Structures are given as structure tokens and as C-alpha cells.
A and B are shown apart, each in its own frame.
Chain A
């Protein structure tokens, strides 16, 4: 028992959770505010899910913003038209994004590399144009306002006011913990290992018996579910869903976060990437309206000097890997 507790505390995930637990109280010291912390958590969920496709399966998707948007609009419609509640709209958003992901994934599953990338861009642009024009569902140019962060709790027993940003922070924090553990389990499962095998050598993966198209399709669908979840939380945070949530720049942002943090080599890279991205954006945008320009330069710097992301500095000894099972 002692050993188990010690193991949990030593686990990097524990450190991440503790850090985010106290983050709202640290933020004021670095010029931040709670809203920013919520944004980091939401984008961390998005980026971790995205990394299942990008980092673990090795499929460069440039279209995940579309599913982020699907999540946001689903939540908006669910809450304004179906049920004035939090959990059901959030879970529905996740589900609908997964369904859209599954449908788009059918066209993508047999593709790889540049063909995969181009198709994801094409689909995300399609989604964006539709969202722009489909007034009844997305509010078109105006978007959908009036989304409420409704109280969450146990009926009759406990009700927590979510319009308070600190409460909402811990609500998202709770979801973030579940997602992180879930994704951690997924990438370490036999399924997750297969995704990595496909990333490194798809032909060989086929030749040892994996229907790689099926695996890629499932991986894409799962990551779209997380994108939808993040989109729903984002709509709640902003109390609105606008077409910009579907814009291709959202796809670019999440991709940048993963590369920046080191998602290609580290599980926690996307979380760090999301945090650095959001904080720098906040910092730069107070300096200039052209903050994307600084990002462009930063992206170039990362690709040239730290192609494996910030966390690659902490990589373990080259050439050997940990063996987690005892030798027989």
C-alpha cells in the first residue's frame, strides 16, 4: 500500500494535477487571471486528445478545429433548445463531435502523410463554410450567444454556482483530470501501442496482422470526441459560440501547442504546449495586435532548434527504453 501511494506521488501526472490545483492562486503573481487558467485547461484537453492522432498515430491533422467547433455549436443548441443543464449538453457535444469525426474518418483512414493532411484541411474548410452559412444552427455571422454556465451539483443536496469563474475552473479541472487519466490509459493499452507501431511503420504493422485503416479511424474518432468536449467547455467559458471556433487557425493552434510542448515525444508535451501558448498569447497580445507574427517566428524557432518540443530537453538516456515487465 505504501509503495502504491509513493508510486502515485512520484508519477509526473500527480505533479501536473497538483500544479493545476493551485494554479488559480499562483496566476495573480505572474500577471495572469483565472479565466486564462480555464483556457489553458480546455486547450490542454483538446491538445492531449489531438495528440492521439498527431503524436501517437503519426497522422498530421490540420482540421481538428472543425470538431472543436462542432462541440461548441452542439453545446449551444443543446442548452438553448433542449435542456437547461450542464452535463448532458457537454456529453452530447462530445458524442456528436465523435460521430462527425467517425464520418470524416471514413474518408481519411486509408490515407497518410500529405494526402491525409490535405483532406483534413479540405474537410475543416467545408465545416467552416457550412457553419458560416447555416444560420439556424450556428447563428451564422452572429454566432450563438446566451450560453449559461449553469449550476452543477447533486440535486437537492449540493449546487455549485458555475458563473463564478473560480468554480468553473475547478469544474474544468475535474474534467481535465478524467481526460488525462483516460488518455494515459488509452495510449498505454494494446490499442495505443498499435497506434505507435502504425506511426513508425504502417506497412509492417499491416504485415503482422493489423487492419491499420480501422485503427487510424478509431484513433481519429476518439481524438475528435475530445476536441468536441473541449469545444463545448470553450463555449461555456465564453458564454457563446461563434464561427471562429471552427476556423482553421484553431486547428493550427492545437497543432502548434503539441509541437511546442513536445507531444511527439512526450505524453505531457501537449499540456505544457497549451500552457505556454496561452500565456504567451496573453502576453504578446497586450504588446501588439500582430501577435500572430511573433508566433510565426516562435514556430520557426521551435522547428529549427527544438523540433521535438520543450519537453525533449528532459528525454531519458538515448538508445535504451524502460522495460516495464520483468524478464522471464
Chain B
């Protein structure tokens, strides 16, 4: 069963075709990795899927519904959330506030102007639940910018999780992490994937090959190969473009 499908999706920046007629199908309940060299159009693809950029052509269907051109806040409500490669958290807010602000959006309390946020028990309880899920319980009152880099990476994903998505898009979740932290992150993503459809953009091929059910290879804005990790490893075109004879 597919969860998201793109048809001829295209995005240009001047003369550069960042995303070039991409037809991509992401299956439900599995972990798909998108790999490709720098500049292959991976992050642009995410920005199109989440509505931060408008495509120049093509369509995006989420669970069969045409969501092309939707603004980001509507797309989140449909059930797609993403994390960012370059940390995009609320650095000046506490860990707890970072999560709660996302839960509050998901529960639709944002426009309440005369009530107190601290008295919204369902929002607060859910926030603690997510903080436990991401393993940062006990650090709630620490300002986000003072968390360790690894914890901020986890928080980055935690904020996306708080939107209660059906599809989670992760953009280089292990970027900048040291060896042991990468291991922790890999296990974390694998755990999430047990009951969530996840797409990961990742450069670390060890991570990609160990966690993915399915891999799509993007090169110069086009999908050049798709398949299981084993199929991808043996694909000559992929070897040429990216893996460099792994």
C-alpha cells in the first residue's frame, strides 16, 4: 500500500533542475531511504513534499489525496512531518516547550487566547509522553540550545513526532553525530519504524543499508534506481553514480 506518490514532480532554480520529473512511490509501514550525492535534490524533494516550496510541475498524492500546493501547516495536519538536516529547533525555549508547542498545534489549541497553557492537561501529558519516547525525560527545563548536540538531534525528531504524523521524513538524522551517537540514533529510528512509516535521507551508507526496507537513489534530480538494500548494492548505475564500488 502506498502512502505517498509523486507524479512528474519538478522544481527548478533558475536553469538548474533540482527535482526533475520524479515519479516516486513510498510504501506504507516500511522504512525507505533516499540516497544520492550532494546536490541530487533530496532536500528539495522534502521541501516540496512538506509544502515549504511549491513545485514547478507535477503532483503529490498523500494517501490518494492530491496535496500539491498545500501550505506546510495544512500538510502537517494531513499527517506528514519532517525533521531538518540543519537543526531547526526552538533554541531559546526549554526542551519541554519545544515539544509542547508542537503537541499544542496537533491538538488544535493554538488560537486559544485567554486560557493558560499550563492547565491543558492533555497537552502536557502528551508532551511528557513524547519526551519519554525520545529518551530525554528529566531534561525538560533545560533550554534547548544548552542540550548536547546529540540530544538536540533527537529533539529535532521529537518535535516532528509530536505532530503525530502518519509519515515521518527525516533529513540526515545522523549528520554530525559521533560513532556511538550514530548507533543510538540508528536504534532509535529502527524503534520508531516499528509503528510508523519513515523516509530517511542519509549519507552514512552503513546506516542506510542496516535500517532500510527500501532504497531510492536520486541523481541530478532524477530517481535512477529503486529496490531493496541488496538490489541497490548490486545496481551498476548506482555504483557508478554514488557508491563508488562499495
Contact = CB atoms under 8 A, between A and B. Distances in A.
Contact of B124 (A203, A218, A325): A325
B112 A191 contact: yes
A235 B172 CA distance: 58
A207 B88 CA distance: 10
A210 B94 contact: no
B141 A323 contact: yes
Contacts of A189: 112-117
Contact of A209 (B77, B93, B118): B77
B73 A321 contact: no
A79 interface: no
B88 A201 contact: yes
A320 interface: yes
Contacts of B123: 190
Interface string A173-216: 00000000000011011111110110011011111111110010
A154 interface: no
A197 B81 CA distance: 17
Interface string B74-103: 001100011010001111111011001110
Nearest to A326: B124
Contacts of B128: 327-328
A322 interface: yes
Contact of A322 (B92, B93, B104, B141): B141
Nearest to B112: A190
Interface in B123-153: 123-125, 128-129, 140-143, 146
B223 interface: no
Interface residues of A, number: 34
Contact of A190 (B72, B88, B115): B115
B71 A211 contact: yes
A191 B104 CA distance: 10
A191 B113 contact: yes
Main secondary structure of the interface of A (DSSP, over half): helix
Contacts of B84: 204
A289 interface: no
B227 interface: no
Contact of A328 (B104, B112, B124): B124
A315 to B, nearest CB: 12
Given A201-B90, A203-B52, A324-B118, A190 B109 contact: yes
Nearest to A197: B101
Contact of A188 (B73, B97, B116): B116
A155 interface: no
Interface residues of B, number: 50
Given A194-B104, A207-B76, A319 B92 contact: no
B112 A323 contact: no
A93 to B, nearest CB: 21
B73 A206 contact: yes
Contacts of A319: 142-143, 146
Nearest to B119: A325
B13 to A, nearest CB: 18
A193 B124 contact: no
Contacts of A209: 73, 76-77, 102, 105-106, 110, 163
Contacts of A320: 94, 141-143
Q: Of residues B73, B97, B146, which shows the largest number of chain A Cβ atoms within 10 Å of its Cβ?
A: B73
Nearest to A191: B113
A124 to B, nearest CB: 26
Contacts of A328: 124-125, 128-129
A320 B101 CA distance: 18
B187 interface: no
B117 A200 contact: no
A207 B143 contact: no
A262 B103 CA distance: 30
B114 A186 contact: yes
A322 B142 CA distance: 9
Contact of A207 (B72, B115, B124): B72
B142 A193 contact: no
B111 interface: yes
19 contacts: A190-B117, A191-B113, A193-B100, A194-B101, A194-B105, A194-B110, A197-B101, A200-B93, A203-B52, A206-B52, A207-B50, A207-B88, A208-B76, A208-B81, A208-B102, A208-B106, A325-B96, A327-B128, A328-B124
Interface of B: 50, 52, 71-73, 76-77, 81-82, 84, 88-94, 96-97, 100-102, 104-106, 109-118, 120, 123-125, 128-129, 140-143, 146, 159-160, 162-163
